[in-house]
C-alpha cells in the first residue's frame, strides 16, 4: 500500500498562504494514490508544528497564520470523499444537461467514491495539539508509546548487542536479564547509547569487546557523570568510605529484593561518593515496609559516621533530602502514617511541593519526624550489630575506590560469617 511520508516542517513557508497550499497538494496526492491502489497511508511527522492549539481554545499559539494552518488541516482531514477532477467535470456536464431535461428524465449523478486513507500523525507533545484535531471524526485513536517493559528491553538489548563486539559471558541469559533489569526507565536509544559508551570504556582499557564492568561504568557515566579527578585528604577519604559502606551495609541487610550495583568513593558531579541499587524485579508499586527500608538505607551513611567518628559531617545532606521526600509521600500521599487524608489533594498545581504541605501541618510534621527517627534508630541497630561488614566495605573502598556488582557481595559474604549477630537471612528472608 502506498505510504506517503511528510514532515510538518516541509509544509511551512514564509510566504503567507503557501503552507495551506502545500497541505492541499499533499492530501491531493494521498487521495490519488489511494484511488489508484485501493488505499494509502499518510504519515505526518511532528504534527504539533502545524496542529498546535489555536489562541482562545486552551492553547498558546501566537504564530502568524496558525489558525489558518490548523483550519486547513481540519478541512483536509474531512476531504477523503472529495470527488476527483474528472468526476467534477462529469458532474458539471450532467448538471448542464439536466437543466434542459424535464425532472422525470434527468440523469442521475454518481456519488463520489471515498478514498480509503489512513492518516497517522506523530508527536512528542500531544498536549499541545488543537482540541478540534483530536476529537472523534479527525484523529479517532491516540496510541501512546511508553517506555519499554523489561521484556521489551531484553529484546532491544539482544538486537543491539548482536551488532556490537562483546565477550561471550554477555550472551548468557542471566547477564542479559540483569542488564534488562538495571535499565528500567531507559528508552531504546538510551540502551543503544549505553552499549556504545560501554564500548568506549572497553577501548580505554585496551580491550576489543565490551564486558559487564564496562556496562556498569557506562551506566554510571550516563546517569551520574564522569569521574572527577579530585584528591581527598586522608581523613575525608576515610569518612566518605565509611559513609558509603554504611549505606551498602543497611541496603544489604534490609534490602530484600534489591540488587547492589555500585558503591564508590569517586567524585561525580555533586556526589562525593555513591551507592547504586535497584529492584531485582521490575515493579510499579511499593509496600510500606519497602519505603521504610529506603529511608533506613538513606540514614545508613549518617549513622555510620556517628558510630565510627562520634559525629556526622555535611555529607548526609542529600540523604536527608531523599529520606524526607520519601517519608513525606508516606505521610501525605500514601496513607501510611495513621491519617488517610491525602495532602496531595489539597489543591494547587500538579506536582506542588508535598513536603511543604506535610511540614505546614502539625500532625503531618510529627508523623514525618517519627518515621525519620524510627528509620535512623533501626539503621543504627543494624550497623552497630554488623560493624565488621562496614569495616570490610570501607577498607575495600579505600583500597579500590569502587566496588561493582559481585565485588560488593564477595566482600560482605567473606565477612558475614565472623559477625556475632543475627544471621543475614534474618533480615533478608533468604537462605
Span 188-209, pLDDT tens digits: 999 999 999 999 999 999 999 9
Pair (182, 246) in one structural domain: no
Q: Where are the alpha helices (DSSP H) in 148-287?
A: 150-161, 173-182, 188-204, 212-223, 234-254
Residue 370 is predicted with a pLDDT of 93
As beta bridge partners, residue 166 has 210
In the chain, the N- to C-terminal Cα span, in Å, equals 59
Q: At what angle do helices 234-254 and 406-416 cross, to 10 degrees?
A: 80
SS3 258: strand
Task: Please state, as a whole number, how many other Cβ atoms lie within 10 Å of the Cβ of residue 93.
Answer: 11
Question: For residue range 46-98, what is the model confidence (pLDDT) as tens digits?
Answer: 998 888 887 654 444 444 456 778 888 888 888 777 776 777 777 888 888 88
As given in the structure block, the three cell numbers for residue 265 are 568513593
Structurally, how many domains does the chain consist of?
3
* Domain stop point among 172, 194, 223: 223
Short-list 182, 184, 237, CA closest to 401: 237
DSSP string, 106-121: PPPPPPPPPP-EEEEE
Residue 347 is predicted with a pLDDT of 63
Domain of 205, in residue numbers: 150-223
Question: For residue range 258-286, what is the model confidence (pLDDT) as tens digits?
Answer: 778 788 888 877 778 888 777 767 777 88
Residue 256 is predicted with a pLDDT of 62
Task: Please state, as a whole number, how many other Cβ atoms lie within 10 Å of the Cβ of residue 404.
Answer: 20
As beta bridge partners, residue 258 has 279
User: What is the overall mean pLDDT for the chain?
Assistant: 83
Pair (158, 28) in one structural domain: no
Give every residue of the chain whose pLDDT is below 50, as ranges.
57-64, 350-351, 419-431
As given in the structure block, the three cell numbers for residue 262 are 555500585
CA dist., res. 84 & res. 310, Å (int): 87
Residue 378 makes CB contacts below 8 A (sequence gap 6+) with 254, 296
Where residue 52 sits, what CATH number does that domain have?
Answer: 3.40.50.300
* Domain stop point among 204, 223, 242: 223
Residue 134 is predicted with a pLDDT of 85
As given in the structure block, the three cell numbers for residue 84 are 476527483
Q: At what angle do helices 288-309 and 387-400 cross, to 10 degrees?
A: 80
Residue 215 makes CB contacts below 8 A (sequence gap 6+) with 179, 194, 195, 198
Residue 153 is predicted with a pLDDT of 93
Task: Please state, as a whole number, how many other Cβ atoms lie within 10 Å of the Cβ of residue 369.
Answer: 14
Residue 65 is predicted with a pLDDT of 55
Residue 352 is predicted with a pLDDT of 56
Q: What share of the chain is helix, strand, coil (3-state, %, to 5)?
A: 55, 10, 35
As beta bridge partners, residue 276 has 262
Where residue 205 sits, what CATH number does that domain have?
Answer: 1.10.8.60
DSSP string, 386-422: THHHHHHHHHHHHHHSEEETHHHHHHHHHHHTT--SS
Pair (357, 247) in one structural domain: yes
Task: Look at residue 241 and tell me if it is in a domain.
Answer: yes
Amino acid at each position: 500500500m502506498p505510504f506517503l511520508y511528510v514532515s510538518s516542517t516541509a509544509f511551512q513557508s514564509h510566504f503567507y498562504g503557501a503552507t495551506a497550499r502545500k497541505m492541499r497538494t499533499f492530501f491531493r496526492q494521498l487521495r490519488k494514490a489511494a484511488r489508484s491502489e485501493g488505499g494509502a497511508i499518510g504519515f505526518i511527522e511532528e504534527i504539533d508544528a502545524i496542529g498546535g492549539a489555536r489562541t482562545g481554545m486552551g492553547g498558546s499559539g501566537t504564530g502568524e497564520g496558525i489558525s489558518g494552518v490548523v483550519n486547513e488541516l481540519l478541512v483536509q482531514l474531512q476531504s477523503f470523499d472529495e470527488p476527483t477532477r474528472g468526476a467534477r467535470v462529469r458532474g458539471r456536464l450532467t448538471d448542464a444537461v439536466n437543466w434542459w431535461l424535464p425532472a422525470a428524465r434527468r440523469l442521475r449523478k454518481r456519488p463520489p467514491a471515498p478514498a480509503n486513507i489512513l492518516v497517522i500523525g506523530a508527536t512528542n507533545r500531544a498536549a499541545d495539539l488543537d482540541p478540534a484535531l483530536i476529537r472523534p471524526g479527525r484523529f479517532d485513536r491516540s496510541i501512546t508509546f511508553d517506555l519499554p517493559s523489561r521484556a521489551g528491553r531484553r529484546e532491544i538489548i539482544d538486537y543491539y548487542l548482536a551488532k556490537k563486539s562483546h565477550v561471550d559471558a554477555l550472551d548468557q541469559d542471566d547477564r542479559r536479564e540483569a542488564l534488562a533489569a538495571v535499565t528500567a526507565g531507559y528508552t531504546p536509544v538510551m540502551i543503544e547509547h549505553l552499549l556504545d559508551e560501554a564500548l568506549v570504556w572497553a577501548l580505554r582499557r585496551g580491550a576489543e569487546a565490551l564486558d559487564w564492568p564496562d556496562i556498569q561504568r557506562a551506566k554510571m557515566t550516563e546517569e551520574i557523570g564522569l569521574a572527577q579527578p579530585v584528591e581527598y585528604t586522608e581523613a575525608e577519604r576515610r569518612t566518605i568510605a565509611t559513609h558509603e559502606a554504611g549505606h551498602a551495609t543497611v541496603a544489604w541487610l534490609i534490602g530484600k529484593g534489591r540488587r547492589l550495583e555500585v558503591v564508590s568513593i569517586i567524585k561525580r558531579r555533586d556526589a562525593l561518593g555513591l551507592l547504586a541499587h535497584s529492584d531485582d524485579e521490575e515493579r510499579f508499586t511499593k509496600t510500606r515496609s519497602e519505603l521504610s527500608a529506603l529511608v533506613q538505607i538513606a540514614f545508613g551513611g549518617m549513622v555510620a559516621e556517628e558510630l565510627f567518628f562520634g559525629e556526622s559531617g555535611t555529607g548526609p545532606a542529600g540523604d536527608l533530602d531523599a529520606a524526607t521526600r520519601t517519608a513525606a509521600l508516606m505521610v501525605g500521599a500514601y496513607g501510611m502514617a495513621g491519617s488517610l487524608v491525602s495532602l496531595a489533594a489539597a489543591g494547587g498545581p500538579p506536582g506542588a511541593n508535598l513536603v511543604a504541605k506535610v511540614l505546614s501541618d502539625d500532625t503531618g510534621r510529627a508523623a514525618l519526624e517519627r518515621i525519620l527517627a524510627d528509620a535512623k534508630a533501626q539503621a543504627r541497630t543494624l550497623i552497630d550489630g554488623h560493624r565488621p561488614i562496614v569495616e570490610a566495605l570501607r577498607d575495600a573502598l579505600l583500597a579500590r575506590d569502587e566496588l561493582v556488582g559481585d565485588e560488593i557481595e564477595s566482600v560482605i559474604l567473606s565477612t558475614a560469617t565472623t559477625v556475632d549477630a543475627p544471621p543475614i537471612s534474618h533480615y533478608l528472608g533468604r537462605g
